[in-house]
Amino acid sequence: MARSGLNTSGNDVGTDAPKVKLNKESFRQGLRIFRFTLPYRTKFIIGLVLLTLSSATTMAFPWIIGKLADTASGHPVALPNGTLVTINQIALAFAGLILIQGLFSFGRIWFFTQVSEFTVRDIRQALYQKFVTLPIPYFERNRVGAITSRITSDVSVIQDSFSLTLAELFRQVTTLLAGIVFIMVVSVKLSMFMLLTFPPIVVLAMVFGRKIRVLAKATQDELAKTNVIVEETLQGINTVKAFTNEQFETGRYTSSLTKTVRAALRSNLYRGGFVSFVIIGLFGGIVLVLWRAATLVQSGQMTIGDLTQFALYTIFIGASVAGLGELYGKVQSTLGSSERILEILDEPAEPTHRPGATPLQIRGDIAYQHVAFRYPTRPDLAVLKDITFDIQAGEKVALVGPSGAGKSTIVQLLMQFYELSGGKIFIDGRDAALLDLTELRRHIGIVPQETILFGGTIRENIAYGDTSATDAEIIRAAKQANAWQFIESFPEGLDTLVGERGIKLSGGQRQRIAIARAILKNPAILILDEATSALDSESEKLVQSAMDELMVGRTSIIIAHRLSTIRKADKILVIDSGQIVEQGTHEELAHYDNGLYANLLKLQFELS
Ligand SMILES: Nc1ncnc2c1ncn2[C@@H]1O[C@H](COP(=O)(O)OP(=O)(O)OP(=O)(O)O)[C@@H](O)[C@H]1O
């Protein structure tokens, strides 16, 4: 995540946003982000015109001040018709110019802000849309933190560049070029003298500056290491104490701190050197130029007004050179961020929500034929080896087997979350891989082990199963799911907030919300992942009867952990190490001596 950090001297050493080398390719890539600005190009162009005008008025300031100085020192300006301009008139014109400049600046900020806000909204929206349509394996390869930082910090960098960096870049470059032209007009001799004196000093200062940044970064890294020690030991404080390692850890922290101080001192040695270099080099240079200017004024080759103009334009040039140095880093981060954003936008999405897909009617026959599977993140592990089974529409099938056998994987594949490594899955006799994903998933309902509730009201959470459901439908679903009783007991009923900001529901209550969701969705195929953690018997009964009701008339696959569920199943598939090792009804399998099912049964019986 991009965050700005302070080094031990309290100086910002910049963000760790990605930076890329500036070259033709990175520019070409980065500029593609501009396609998001295209819809707002009129506003952008107006902003640019206003920016040009405001820069131009700024550039006129030194010129007017010079004229003021000339008029004051007895060299009044004459208009083309010969009349001499007074100090008051110049001052008045100056005030007018300042007013116009203020208006231009306001307009520029207003237009650029709109462009950047709208652009950034569109980028965020495009990113989000892409994220939710990316296939599941993408989220296994990338950490959530890394993904969210794309949509927050990377986009913020882009926002900065549209609202500030771009305008600044334009202004600094024009100021630099115009400034050089102006000083040349004022005095070619002095300009040449100055241009020979300063650039070498500036180049040296830049080299110096880079070295300081590297050292500051090293200091920051050392400081981060000390923080890691604090975090680690405080999190594992019980372990530290149990091993009586308090002194050892203190020693470790102290030696890390010493390293930080050493790095900080080294960095500040250079910083001190830099400051004295600036004082001696830069101010020395200024004295040199002033000395040259004074001789030119004395010999009548320049007026005091010229000198004033020259000095002010020089300051402008200096400021824009310094500004450009800083902008260089910003342009790099901008290109880096836009590259990362574009990379995501270029990822192939799952083919969901295909326009024109014909609505699918599903009865609920399921057939797995020689299904083999490896997770894309762990290609070396054959999770499913050769899974073949049939389920008729309306049947209840229980998957049982030891932890890690592959039960959840079997049902995930039904949802087409992953591509199979081998074999085929048929739904109503049709190859599931060829069905429209949105249509297919619309017909599959899932009650997971751990129900995820979204922050919001209970109403919103139930309506997740059908966002167009009416209150009456939601209440009916809640009643069928045995959830209405507890919802009703809350003072705010369906409007009760759940999740982080609201009430915390118990495991059994959350499951009943999930069941209500599934009832609203009204799917032909149902996947139930029974919770392994035990509910209290009252809650268990409520959940069980709600589930039984939900299963009526639907093809149900249950990842079963409870005897009661397993007994009621039409068929039991016993899974071990990615294979079906036994299948049949409870009666058939229970009498299969030394079978895995019989053993699991014995174990459960003993436990209960
Ligand atoms: N997303 C994933 N990426 C990589 N490997 C995975 C992933 N999910 C599961 N696995 C691995 O696949 C194997 C089967 O896991 P699965 O979750 O299907 O087992 P399970 O039978 O449902 O187990 P449990 O009853 O404990 O939930 C395990 O070895 C597991 O480590």
Q: What is the pLDDT of residues 416-432, one digit of tens each?
A: 999 999 999 999 999 98
How does pLDDT run across 179-205, given as a tens digit for each residue?
Answer: 999 888 888 888 888 888 777 887 888
Query: According to DSSP H, which parts of 352-452 are helical?
Result: 407-414, 437-442
- Single out the residue of 393, 478, 397 nearest to residue 428, CA to CA: 393
Cα(600) to ligand 1 centroid in Å equals 19
How does pLDDT run across 322-359, given as a tens digit for each residue?
Answer: 788 778 888 888 888 888 899 899 999 887 777 766 77
Q: Mean pLDDT across the stretch 225-235? A: 89
- Single out the residue of 154, 130, 151, 145 nearest to residue 337, CA to CA: 154
Ligand 1 contact, 532 CB (< 6 A): no
Strand partners, 580: 575
How does pLDDT run across 253-287, given as a tens digit for each residue?
Answer: 999 999 999 999 999 999 898 888 888 887 888 88
Residue-averaged pLDDT of the chain:
86
Cα(374) to ligand 1 centroid in Å equals 10
Residue in 139, 140, 403, 408 to alter for ligand 1 test, most ligand atoms within 8 A of Cβ: 408
Read off the DSSP letter of residue 9. Answer: T
Residue 529 phi, psi (nearest 5): -110, 105
Ligand 1 contact, 592 CB (< 6 A): no
pLDDT at residue 110 in the model:
93
Question: Any idea which of 10-14, 231-235, 305-309, 407-411 has the lowest mean pLDDT?
Answer: 10-14
Residue 378 CA: nearest ligand 1 atom is 4
> What's the pLDDT band for 40 if we cut at 50, 70, 90?
very high
pLDDT at residue 197 in the model:
79
Task: Answer yes or no: is pLDDT of 587 > 90.
Answer: no
Residue with the bigger pLDDT between 588 and 426: it is: 426
CATH code for residues 366-607: 3.40.50.300
Question: Any idea which of 59-63, 172-176, 285-289 has the lowest mean pLDDT?
Answer: 285-289
* Per-domain boundaries in the chain: 19-186+328-350, 188-301, 366-607
β-strands 571-576, 396-400: how paired? parallel
How many CB atoms are located within 10 Å of the residue 367 CB?
A: 17
Ligand 1 contact, 406 CB (< 6 A): yes
> What's the pLDDT band for 7 if we cut at 50, 70, 90?
very low
> What's the pLDDT band for 561 if we cut at 50, 70, 90?
confident
For residue 373, the surrounding DSSP H or E stretch is strand 366-373
Strand partners, 427: 366, 430
Task: Answer yes or no: is pLDDT of 9 > 50.
Answer: no
Whose Cα sits closest to atom 30 in ligand 1?
404
How many CB atoms are located within 10 Å of the residue 133 CB?
A: 16
Share of the chain above pLDDT 90, in %: 33
pLDDT at residue 535 in the model:
67
Tokens for 297, please give them. Answer: 């004024």
3-class SS shares of the chain: helix, strand, coil, % to 5: 65, 10, 25
Task: Answer yes or no: is pLDDT of 369 > 80.
Answer: yes
Ligand 1 contact, 383 CB (< 6 A): yes
Q: Mean pLDDT across the stretch 432-448? A: 89
pLDDT at residue 456 in the model:
86
pLDDT at residue 422 in the model:
92
Whose Cα sits closest to atom 7 in ligand 1?
375
DSSP per residue, 166-220? HHHHHHHHHHHHHHHHHHHHH-HHHHHHHHHHHHHHHHHHHHHHHHHHHHHHHHH
Residue with the bigger pLDDT between 125 and 205: it is: 125
What residues contact 103, with CB distance under 8 A and at least 6 apart? none
pLDDT at residue 534 in the model:
63
Tokens for 104, please give them. Answer: 């231009």
For residue 499, the surrounding DSSP H or E stretch is none
Residue with the bigger pLDDT between 607 and 434: it is: 434
Q: What is the ipTM of this complex?
A: 0.96
The CATH classification of domain 19-186+328-350, taken from the options 1.10.3720.10, 3.40.50.300, 1.20.1560.10, 3.90.1640.30: 1.20.1560.10
> What's the pLDDT band for 6 if we cut at 50, 70, 90?
very low
How does pLDDT run across 492-549, given as a tens digit for each residue?
Answer: 888 888 877 667 788 888 888 998 999 999 899 999 988 766 667 777 788 888 888 8
Q: Is pTM beyond 0.90 here?
A: no
Which residue carries 């009430």 as its tokens? 503
Tokens for 432, please give them. Answer: 């599931």
